[in-house]
Structure 1
Amino acid sequence: MNNPKKRGKSLFRTINDWLHLWLGLVSGIIVFIISITGCIYAFQKEISSVTQPYQFVPVEAKPYLSPSTLRHIAELHQFGDKAGKPGKVINAVQYPGKGKAALATYRDKKTGYMMVYLNPYSGKVLKSKALEKDFFRIILMGHYNLWLPREIGQQVVCWGTMIFVVLLITGLIMWWPKNLRKANVNKSFKVKWKASFKRVNYDLHNVLGFYVLIGALIIAITGLYFGFKWVPKSIYWVTSGGKQIPERRGTVFSDTTHIPQQTALYSPEDSVWANLRRGYTNEGSLQITFAQKQSDAITASYNPQEGTFYKNHTRYFDRYTLQEIPGKTLYNKPFEEGSAADKLVRMNYDIHVGAIGGIAGKCIAFLISLISGSLPITGFIVWWGKKRKAKDTRTKTQNLKGGSPVIVASSLAR
């Protein structure tokens, strides 16, 4: 009985495998940089806590200094006799929580975003630094923009991430049919460490890629949230049953018809801060953003949970009447009052970095990013090995066709 002919790949599989190969080669370096910078940034908070002692202060049985007092101290330290003049003002003061230094921030035209750490009890300046020079900020810029101008780099990162999503799907299609067979279970789900380098490398690409598939898809899609406006809109539309996502950034204004005839002897920001502290605990982080223009409102942001951002609650207050002004964004109401779609969108960043699962979640995100960064390398080695093998095969075939009878006989004997 004649043996049946071995069927070739279908057109669909041929196209799928071609896409996986060439999209992988095109986006490999981008995926590698995004993944490795994500790995490094995963434990930014934990590492910074050790390497930046100025973030902490001893707890004292004294009240905190008010936002306006800390603002004045920081301005004198940074600007000297120019303090308070246009472009020489502190924009916000943050109280990160018990045992932590207060933080006064502003933006400088030359150095960018500036941070001044102060003892919230005494007002002593502990450290002043430009955020752009911080190691983890540099890593983050590589993750967001590949250290390119933002308008260029962010698009490259976004499309590189989109291609990575396609690679994960095409990789699963390549893996799926042959690896579900019972005879292939071991080699499909286990790395054969005692095999040749070529086989181990193939297993690292094939097996580890399968294990991180779901996690890598989640991290990639939550990353696309920051680059493509249609991603958060689509996520919200699907999870809310067809509703439009609220605006991501809202602007509110103070009522300028209530401007007092004479300058107040007190700081309205201090009043807002004092009132809010009665309802919030010192365990959370409270930031007061000062009103700069006459029509600006006072912004207060409170985050009750350290290490995550999804519970952050932002509120606005009229700088003249101190009345609260309703906001329209997702963050202008407590997390618990949001719909399922609201909560999912608010949790996007914390899901992306793994912080939603605490230290265990960060470890998982770290491993997924590390393996994702290895996939372009192991995939390139697989492709290069096949390319060399094909080249060697063609060389041997040409030698057999064009060589002397003795060489041909010798080759056939081998």
Structure 2
Amino acid sequence: MSTLTNSSAGYRTLWRWHFYAGLFVMPFLVVLAITGTLYCFQPQIEPLLYPRLLEVAPQAAPRLPDDALLAKARAAMPADARAVTASIERAPDRSSEFVFRLADGEKQSVYVNPYSGEVLGTLSVEHRFMQIDRMLHRKLLLGKPGELLMELAACWTLVMIGTGVALWWPREKTTLRVALLPRFALKGRPLWKNLHAVMGIWLALGALAFVLSGLPWTGSWGQQFKALASAANLGAPPGSWGGLPLRSVLPGATPSQPGAGDPTQHQGHETKDNSMPGMVMDDLPLPLTPWAVGKSPVPQSAASSAEPQPLPLSQVVAQLASLGLVDGYDIVLPASSTGVYTVSYFPADPKAERTLYIDQYSGKVLKDIRYGDYGAVSKAVSYGTSLHMGRYFGVANQIVCAAISLGLAGMAFTGCVMWWKRRPKQQPRSLGAPSRERAAPPMRGWKTGLVLLGVVFPLMGATLLAVWIADRAIVGRATQRTA
């Protein structure tokens, strides 16, 4: 067997599609690779960036109660700032973090020494390094348009992987072993082409896993996929798409009174975060939320003249410890008289994921959503997410993800070098795309595959059609036939 040659039937057609896919994907792939690698090592990087805020000296003295720490954080913020989230960490060398929403809508994290109660400082949630890195990774800091561009890049990566593997596939007399090892004896463009092909085949499976595990989190296709999985009882737990009356019951209120827990009552002054009608878990001020519960409805506020006393944060934390949650979770604080404590536990092991809603007055657990409540699709996505983020098997997972990500960036570099070396120097404005074959085979399998991709990913299907039309109407047969 030998690798598919330039004269093989269908070679140039596949090469042409591989070229167009790479032309679009490569710039985004570099961004994804760099930002993804950085985010993978967030646990190691953030303490280096903010040591005075995140780290404290371990002490033998007992930690202050969470209520006292929250009071210290609140005293350091403006009077009109509202506490929205408490991050519960019990590592002896970590500070306590509380997130506040300011009057202008910005969120600020306040860090407190859990032993002395000293306020260590504040940090903007939106402008901290890892949040910027995450938004670059997801949407290029461009909002919805950037999110759609990244989704398109992920979809086109599937085309690039498929055509790349087909171009590499060994045929005739070349052994598989030779095809899997780089040939450094080559010179010039053949060397770059060989490096590109060998590196690509080694990275293909990892790149495919990255794309498939990342797509469920996209803003367009991912949301539709989640809705479809839930409709087929394969996604979110029962009740996550509406009809779940998760509200704290005001002491002494009757079901007919506002704020008594009636899910049909939406009157009164609505506040942000966890009390506006129609809001879901994805809308809460949480750093991470399990994919399966992203669309779970959150409590809704209702006007009331009652002045009940909610449970203190420390009591809720103690109750959660009795339920098996000790640290590493976030609590969204009630924002209204009918709000609840919303608890999100998103650990490295998907089987341990939990989302709880606790009545702020009685401490009653209104809902405890666990991994076992997920549908089959949500379970698979949970594992894919943990692997994608480099969390599932510790540092080794991080290293594997970084190797794949940086390898893909290397693919972008070698692809650019190959294009630069074969570009038509007499036509500097030409893209240098491989010419179409005069007698290309039907390639029905590939065409069917592209159509199916376009159906499964409609946004990609529209761009596939646009590229096909532009290739024939604009580029035509003017491209040079170069090897």
Give the TM-score band, short-chain normalised.
0.7 to 0.9
- Is 2:328 the counterpart of 1:273? no
| Matching residue within 221, 237, 253 for 2:247 | 253
Alpha-carbon spacing, 1:206–1:73, altered in 2? closer, same or farther (3 Å): same
Q: Is the 8 A contact 2:95 2:111 kept in 1?
A: yes
Question: 1:411 is matched with which residue?
Answer: none
Shift of 1:273: 1.8
1:51-62 to 2 correspondences below 5 Å: 51-53=49-51, 54-62=53-61
Q: 1:258-294, CA deviations, whole angstroms, 9 ceiling, x for partnerless residues?
A: 4599745663433222222234465x32433211112
Aligned partner letter, 1:301: S
The one of 361, 378, 382 aligned to 1:320:
361
Conservation of the 8 A alpha-carbon contact between 1:95 and 1:287: yes
**SS of 1:183 mapped into structure 2:** coil
Q: Structure 1 residue 46: deviation in Å?
A: 1.2
Task: Report the CA distance shift for 1:347/1:114 in structure 2 as closer, same or farther (over 3 A).
Answer: farther
**Which has the larger displacement, 269-278 or 246-255?**
246-255
Note the C-alpha offset of 1:163: 0.6
**Match status 1:243 vs 2:233:** yes
* Bigger mean CA offset, 158-167 vs 63-72: 63-72
- 1:135 is aligned, of 129, 135, 156, to 129
Q: Deviations over 1:343-379 (max 9, x none)?
A: 3222332121222121111111101111111222212
Letter in 2 for 1:75: R
Among 161, 175, 190, the residue aligned to 1:199? 190
Q: Which residue of 1 aligns with 2:64?
A: 65
Identity of aligned residues (%): 22
Question: Residues 131 and 249 from structure 1, CA distance in 2 versus in 1: closer, same or farther, beyond 3 angstroms?
Answer: farther
Q: CA distance change for structure 1 residues 16 and 8 in 2, over 3 Å: closer, same or farther?
A: same
Q: Which runs of 5+ in 1 are unaligned?
A: 1-5, 392-414
**Paired residue secondary structure (1:356):** coil
Structure 1 SS opposite 2:352: coil
43-52 vs 253-262, which moves further? 253-262
Indicate how the Cα distance of structure 1 residues 374 and 235 shifts in structure 2: closer, same or farther if over 3 A, else same.
farther
The correspondence for 1:114, drawn from 104, 108, 112, is: 108
Distance 1:111 1:293 in 2: 17
> Do the aligned residues in 2 keep the contact of 1:269 with 1:319 (CA within 8 Å)?
no
1:49 and 2:47 matched: yes
TM-score by length of structure 1 reads 0.78
How big is the shift at 1:73? 1.3
Q: Is the partner of 2:114 in helix, strand or coil?
A: coil
Report the Cα distance in structure 2 between the residues aligned to 1:102 and 1:181, rounded to whole angstroms.
Answer: 64
Contact 1:236 1:243 in 2 (8 A): no
Does residue 293 (structure 1) correspond to residue 333 (structure 2)? The answer is no
Give 3-state SS (helix, strand or coil) of 2:393's partner.
Answer: helix
Q: Please identify which structure carries the higher helix content.
A: 1
- 1:28 counterpart = 2:19: no
**For residues 335-354 of structure 1, what are the structure 2 equivalents within 5 Å?**
335=371, 340-354=376-390
Structure 2: distance between partners of 1:126 and 1:312: 30
Relative to structure 1, the CA distance from residue 213 to residue 386 in structure 2 (aligned partners, 3 Å threshold; closer, same or farther) is same
State whether residues 236 and 341 of structure 1, in contact with CA within 8 Å, keep that contact through their aligned partners in structure 2.
no
Equivalent residue, structure 2, for 1:398:
none
Counterpart CA distance in 2 for 1:347 and 1:258 is 44
Alignment pair present for 1:158 and 2:151: yes
1:375 matches 2:365: no
Q: Say which is worse superposed, 368-377 or 263-272, in terms of deviation.
A: 263-272
- Size of the aligned set, in residue pairs, is 368
Paired residue for 1:385, among 421, 427, 443? 421
What SS does the aligned partner of 1:371 have? helix
Counterpart residue identity of residue 39, structure 1 = T
SS in 1 for 2:217: coil
Mapped to 1, the partners of 2:212 and 2:172 lie a distance apart of 30
Change (3 A) 1:212 1:315: same
What is the root-mean-square deviation of aligned Cα atoms in Å?
3.3
Match of 1:18 in 2: 16
Residues 301 and 262 (structure 1 numbering): CA distance in 2 closer, same or farther, change over 3 Å?
same
Contact 2:18 2:163 in 1 (8 A): yes
Partner Cα separation in structure 1 for residue 332 and residue 201 of structure 2: 46
TM-score by length of 2: 0.67
